[in-house]
Homo-oligomer: A and B are copies of this chain.
Amino acid sequence: MTSISGREIPDYIQGYGPVKPFQGAFSDVGTKTRTAAKLTSVIPNHEKVLPGLDEALDKLGITDGMTISFHHHLRNGDFILNKVMESLAARGIKDLTVAASSIFPVHAPLVEHMEKGVVTGLVTNYMSGPVAEAVSKGKLKKPAVMQTHGGRARAIESGDLHIDVAFLAAPTADTYGNINGIYGKSACGSLGYAAADAEYADRTIAITDNLVPYPACPIEISQVFIDYVVEVDSIGDPKGIVSGTTKITRDPVALIIAKRAAEVIKASGLVREGMSFQTGAGGTSLAVAAELKTIMRQEGVVGSFASGGITGYLVEMLEEGLFRTLFDVQCFDLKAIQSYRDNPAHQFMSASMYGNPHTKGAVVNHLDIMILGATEIDTDFNVNVTTGSDGVIMGGSGGHSDTAAGSKLAIVVTNLMKARLPIIKDKVMTVTTPGESVDVLVTERGIAVNPQRTDLLERLRRTKLPLMTIKELKGLAETITGIPKAIEPSDEIVAVVEYRDGSVIDVVRKVK
């Protein structure tokens, strides 16, 4: 047994292997290796386009026990993972590990593949819906491995996660495998999460519903990394791929939280020339961006960049001149795709460049302000975005731990209570992001600063913001909700939560 932040984690986990325990956000840096990559070189006149997926599967040589990968740029509109898995199941392949950068409700058919032993391993940065529930119920043979966006790129590039075959859903591909996500009926914009898969998998295939003559333009993923190309009718449902527009919340409580968060940012001294900012696509997060916009205008500052999954809202800030550039790993809406297509200041960012801790410097290292969500947060500021109040997996880090670690000011914004349950706990059910990376918690009833940030606390004390200790905030919530009964999961480990450096920060146990 290894104790991490007071948690009991075995030294060895069946189906996962030896545990490298989490030792702190920056304990594992220095000399690193990007692993060697195998490839098959070709001569002129080699034809990469195959007539269909079945012919491709013949060529790809997938056998029992392999690891195959998918990216999640088509989100809940993705057809590719299901199509490929259906074909592989029909071929009687067993014991596959699916390394999908995220899993959505649309991927429900995976549950049956898990039950039948077609899929026995799952590596992902985020999962929600039936697959997440099935994993929580112990339906996957091996524990799922839950990584971060930067951690996945690290795992692939370091060789910790070896991919035998990468399936690349391609909104546009040419006949020699150059890919972009910008054009085509299934356009999704940046393909930042797919880059490492393309570069390091033994074999790669682009599956497209927009096959164009050579060469595609622009090129996000190069022909030098692609073995085969297959055209299909449709790679996804546009309605599930992007939202038309992402919108700011109208919920008055969320708006109060956003206003307070903006005041914290202002008081922190980080609103200054060259500042950088990231936020999610959620309503409250966008509301913080709206508040920040007003402050930036008032102060007359021009930021250096905003980053992450990009929304139309950040595009507007770019176009207004509030930021000089955007770093885009993924487009969240049509406006973001359009801007990424047309504006050279809206730049591509791979997942590795975004958050891989084992590069010569990821973008998150340069991030000033990060707005984060939380399912739970505990009195040590550890954040859970992996499991819900019922202990069932309903998310995962994504870029949460990456940006929290890199940013100068990581702000968790959340209602103090959700569904009549308090958000602050003595111990979160699952640690996704360690408390050392979280600087401040902003709720509608009060603001708690991580006591390690004495500098920030001092600055905020000069304001009229309602500061409390996190224990006081917790007490406040509990006077309203009472103290909820703790969930008691079983001993069986169903998922291993890897920190971005590949150490194990927590495990998820089967729900009873």
Name the one of B217, B304, B361 contacting A223, with C-beta atoms under 8 angstroms.
B361
Q: Of all chain B residues, which has the CB nearest A302?
A: B213
Q: Of all chain B residues, which has the CB nearest A226?
A: B360
Taking CB atoms, residues of chain B closer than 8 Å to A356 are 224
Q: How far is the CA of A24 from the CA of B95 in the complex (A)?
A: 43
- 0/1 per residue, A354-367, Cβ < 8 Å to B? 00111111111110
| Inter-subunit contact B215/A305 (CB<8 Å) | yes
A11 to chain B minimum Cβ distance, whole angstroms, is: 26
Given contacts A44-B406, A217-B344, contact A227 B360 (CB under 8 A): yes
Whether a CB of chain B sits under 8 angstroms from the CB of A325 is yes
- 0/1 per residue, A398-421, Cβ < 8 Å to B? 000000011110000000000000
Q: How far is the CA of A31 from the CA of B41 in the complex (A)?
A: 6
Taking CB atoms, residues of chain B closer than 8 Å to A37 are 33-34
| Inter-subunit contact A33/B36 (CB<8 Å) | yes
Taking CB atoms, residues of chain B closer than 8 Å to A40 are 30-32, 360
| Inter-subunit contact B359/A39 (CB<8 Å) | yes
Taking CB atoms, residues of chain B closer than 8 Å to A364 are 44
Taking CB atoms, residues of chain B closer than 8 Å to A215 are 304-305, 324-325, 327, 347, 363, 366
Query: Which residues of chain A from 44 to 75 have a CB within 8 Å of any chain B CB?
Result: 44-46, 48
Q: How far is the CA of A358 from the CA of B225 in the complex (A)?
A: 11
Given contacts A222-B353, A353-B222, contact A359 B31 (CB under 8 A): no
Taking CB atoms, residues of chain B closer than 8 Å to A43 are 26, 29, 365
Please state the number of chain copies in the assembly: 2
Name the one of B32, B217, B227, B363 contacting A325, with C-beta atoms under 8 angstroms.
B217
Taking CB atoms, residues of chain B closer than 8 Å to A35 are 36
A201 to chain B minimum Cβ distance, whole angstroms, is: 11
Whether a CB of chain B sits under 8 angstroms from the CB of A214 is yes
Name the one of B217, B304, B344 contacting A213, with C-beta atoms under 8 angstroms.
B304
Whether a CB of chain B sits under 8 angstroms from the CB of A345 is yes
Taking CB atoms, residues of chain B closer than 8 Å to A407 are 44
Taking CB atoms, residues of chain B closer than 8 Å to A366 are 44, 176, 214-215
| Inter-subunit contact B39/A347 (CB<8 Å) | no
Taking CB atoms, residues of chain B closer than 8 Å to A347 are 215, 217-219
Q: How far is the CA of A38 from the CA of B35 in the complex (A)?
A: 9
- 0/1 per residue, A448-463, Cβ < 8 Å to B? 0000000000000000
Whether a CB of chain B sits under 8 angstroms from the CB of A274 is yes
| Inter-subunit contact B46/A361 (CB<8 Å) | yes
Q: Of all chain B residues, which has the CB nearest A182?
A: B344
| Inter-subunit contact B217/A48 (CB<8 Å) | no
- 0/1 per residue, A328-371, Cβ < 8 Å to B? 00000000000000001101000011001111111111100000
Taking CB atoms, residues of chain B closer than 8 Å to A361 are 41-42, 46, 48, 176-177, 223-224, 226
Q: Of all chain B residues, which has the CB nearest A25?
A: B43
Taking CB atoms, residues of chain B closer than 8 Å to A327 are 215
Taking CB atoms, residues of chain B closer than 8 Å to A406 are 44
- 0/1 per residue, A203-221, Cβ < 8 Å to B? 0100000000111011100
Taking CB atoms, residues of chain B closer than 8 Å to A365 are 42-46, 176
Q: Of all chain B residues, which has the CB nearest A222?
A: B353
Taking CB atoms, residues of chain B closer than 8 Å to A42 are 29, 360-361, 365
Known contacts A32-B41, A39-B359; 6 additional CB pairs below 8 A are A39-B360, A44-B406, A176-B366, A177-B360, A177-B361, A223-B353
The 8 A-B residue pairs with the shortest CB-CB distance, nearest first, are A224-B359, A44-B365, A34-B37, A36-B36, A41-B358, A26-B43, A29-B41, A217-B325
